[in-house]
Amino acid sequence: MKVVYKITYPNGKIYIGSDSTDSANYFGSASSKIIALDFSRSELRDFTVRKEILWESGDADASEMRRVEVDMIRKHNSNDPAKGYNRWPRQRRADPEPG
C-alpha cells in the first residue's frame, strides 16, 4: 500500500510525506535540526505528533505517489517555512503586483 501522509507537530506546523511500505512507525524525513529550532528543550521532553493518511492506493506506482505528495505539499502549503517543514518543492513565488 502506498500512502501520502501529513505529520502535525505541537506548534501546528506540518510535514507532508509519502511511504511505499505504509509503515506505522515511519514519520518522514523532515529535517530534525529545523524542527528542533522551533522547540525548547523542555518542550522536547513531552512531544506528541499526529500522523494522518491523506491518500492511499494499492495499485498506484511510485511516480503517481510522488505526484500526489507534491500536490498535497502545495495544497497544504507545507513548503512555506511559516506553515511547515517541507523544503521541497520550493514554494512558488506570487507574481508581483502590476504597476
> Cα dihedral angle (22, 15, 65, 23), rounded to 10 degrees?
-10
The stretches in the chain having pLDDT less than 50 are 95
pLDDT of amino acid 97:
55
Contact call for residues 3 and 62 (beta carbons, < 8 A): no
In the chain, domain spans? 2-76
pLDDT of amino acid 91:
73
Burial class (CB in 10 A: 0-12, 13-18, 19+), 46: exposed
pLDDT of amino acid 13:
98
